[in-house]
Structures are given as C-alpha cells and as structure tokens.
Amino acid sequence: MARGSSAKAFELVLDVAATDLKPPEFQKYVAKFARRTLAEYVAARSDVPQVVTYVDGRLGASEETVKYGGVIRYEFGAGSLIVVAALQWLQAEARKVGTEYAEGFFVGVLKTTTKGRSGGRQTTAHEAEGRLIPASSFAAQSRALPSDSNYIIGNRLPYNRKVDVQMMGGRSMSFAIDDKIFDRCAAAMRGRFPGFDVRRVYTLTFSGQYELVNGPRAGRPVHSPGLVISRI
C-alpha cells in the first residue's frame, strides 16, 4: 500500500496469491514482489520520495519478516518521521533547561488559524484539533495522526515563551540554552526534510493552556510559541 506525498494522496493495495509456496519461500516471494513494485513506482516519479516501510505494523522491519498472509506497507513522505525528528531535537535542547521542560512537548493536528492583535501587533494563533499527544507517547508508527495532516508541536509549560525568547518584558533572562529554540529547530528540520515547510509560530492554541493572572491580558491564554509542520 502506498500513500502519495502530494496533495493528491492515493492508496494502492496489491494482494499476492501464491498457493504453491509455503514459509519461508512465501515470505521471500512477497518481499521480492513488494520491493520490485516499489522500485517501479519510484522510478516513474520525477522526484525521489521519502519511503517508510511497515511490515505487519512494525516500522523499518525487513520485508522478509512479513507473516504468512501479513501486510507490507510503504508510505511516502510520512509526516510522522519529521515530527519524531523535531521532537528529538527539541528534547535534546530542552534537557539543558530541565527534565520537566523536555517532557512538556506535545504533538497535535493543525485545525485552524485565527488572527488577532496583541500589544499593537498582529498575531496569528494556530489551533490544535482533537487529542494532544505527549512527546513521550508519540512514535513514528503512530496511527493517531493521519500522514497527510499538518502538525503542530508545542510545550505545555507556561514559561515556554520565556525560554524561546529569553526575555521577561524588556528584561533579559538567563536560561541554560540559546534563545529561539523553535526557530533553530525549524531551520534544522527544513534542511533534513525538504518536502516540508517548517515554521516557528508566535502562539499555539490548545486545551489546558495556561492563562495569565495579571496585567492587561489577564484571563487570556499565555502566548505559546511552537512549530507548524506542513507539506510543500
């Protein structure tokens, strides 16, 4: 089964029937057939897609390990891989601040964007759809996020923005990591995954978001910068 990486996604399901073969010859035959079909499809494309292999639901397993009557699945440009890579990058940097901050990251599907104004400047909030997945629970083979969705990655902790910009109002702050953590992550991911647009955004909107207690924005959500990942 293959899923296209462009806006026009497709699925192709091929059933292999070889009644005269028994394990392990059957697995070898199916593996060879699957690889040949994949090679023919890739050769017919103008680009070189990123291919992710699932064998009976196991990410990266060899085609020869497919069970008798099992499933070999190829996904092209699977967004889950870039999500995992971005989480790993962010958590590695975040651990310089502390374990709690590193464990505060989450993944969600981008639902809507809303425009508004804050402090005389125009802002855009990116809203998450449905359940948010903690970074510790997210895996590349996860089916919780559709492979053709746009994603957001944020951090639940209220001081996330302070870590990102290293400022409290006009006063500089001191954290154990460089500022602009999301900007730097976006640049790193764009270099590794050219088929995706990765942007640092000013604020995300999600359930359970902390609200300000004091000041002119009291009662409103704390600005929470993060990443928006979408296909090009």
Q: Could you tell me if 59 and 150 lie in one domain?
A: no
pLDDT for res 86: 94
Q: Could you tell me if 113 and 66 lie in one domain?
A: no
Q: Could you tell me if 183 and 83 lie in one domain?
A: yes
Domain count, the chain: 2
d(CA 59, CA 57) in angstroms, rounded, equals: 6
Q: Could you tell me if 148 and 199 lie in one domain?
A: yes
Q: Could you tell me if 100 and 56 lie in one domain?
A: no
Q: Could you tell me if 154 and 88 lie in one domain?
A: yes
Q: Could you tell me if 87 and 202 lie in one domain?
A: yes
Q: Could you tell me if 88 and 118 lie in one domain?
A: yes
pTM summary value = 0.66
Task: Give strand ranges (E) for 2-155.
Answer: 2-3, 51-55, 58-59, 72-76, 105-118, 121-134, 151-155
Full domain range(s) for residue 189? 79-231
Single out the residue in 45, 76, 107 at which a domain terminates.
Answer: 76
pLDDT for res 215: 67
Q: Could you tell me if 116 and 219 lie in one domain?
A: yes
d(CA 214, CA 207) in angstroms, rounded, equals: 20
d(CA 190, CA 97) in angstroms, rounded, equals: 24
pLDDT for res 155: 94
pLDDT (tens, 9 = 90+) of the chain, 232 residues, equals 333 334 334 456 666 666 677 888 888 888 998 999 889 888 887 666 667 788 888 877 899 999 887 888 887 766 677 888 899 999 999 999 889 999 999 998 887 777 666 555 666 778 877 778 888 887 655 555 565 678 899 999 988 988 998 887 778 888 888 889 999 999 999 988 877 889 999 888 888 777 766 766 666 778 889 999 987 6
